[in-house]
Amino acid sequence: MAIVPRDVKRSLNSQLPREVGRRFESITRGEFEKIKAKMILNFESHSITREIEAGVNASNTSGTLGGYGNLFSFIGFPSGHDPIEPIRERLYATTIRKIRFSNGVMEFVTTEPTREELFSMSKFSDFRDEFVGSRSWIDGIETGISGLGSYLYEASRSIAKSRSGKAIQLKGGKKSESAFGKSTTGGAIQLQRSRYKRVSYMSGILREFRESVFRLRKVTIK
């Protein structure tokens, strides 16, 4: 039987943890990419994302406006504006960074956006001239946006002074919609539809992502 020299044994033993660490890191990164892909899929398939991306001619498939008009024109995005792309780019930029591998556990951090970061990327003031403070339209989607009672959407023609081209907020409320003629779709709004319906959006998507990352942190090699 061949005898392995002590210095060779020490070298082999010192290399083993590194090899295990590399293997575990590869597995961890692979699982993280699956979690990230699920987060992006949840974002892309969400009714809010789809409706806003469909633009000023979209239907209110999210149900937030009682089926009347659409979020793009209700929020007041200017025609041609793409509010979704910056959020998408930030989600794709999410990465995992290795910290260290010790005692069978891989310690790491992830760089998904925070709630505050997303809010700073989605301020009403970025596309509205009038004073609206520092509020975020993403926050508004989830906590409520006022003004549905004065929101007039015209599907068949453009409206003067409208940012989106298809909608406007009437100072006199829905009663003044008659000034636009009987053909306006505003005539379909009833009093029970004048309240915005809140919907979970980015907070729910990020919560699911972080819960999955938390479970990933619990994986160990024994």
- pLDDT in the model for residue 101: 76
Q: How far apart are CA 136 and CA 7, in angstroms?
A: 63
- Written as one string, the DSSP assignment of 140-200 is HHHH--S-GGGEEE-SSS--TT-SSSSEEE-TTGGGGGGGG-TT-GGGG--GGG-SPPP--
DSSP reduced 3-state for 21: helix
Strand partners, 152: 168
CA angle 28, 207, 99 (to 5 degrees): 35
pLDDT at 213: 95
The whole-number pLDDT of residue 132 equals 63
pLDDT tens, position by position, 55-102: 988 999 999 998 888 999 899 898 888 999 999 999 999 999 988 877
Domain residue ranges of the chain, discontinuous segments joined by +: 18-217
What are 130-159's pLDDT values in tens digits? Answer: 656 678 999 999 999 888 877 878 776 666
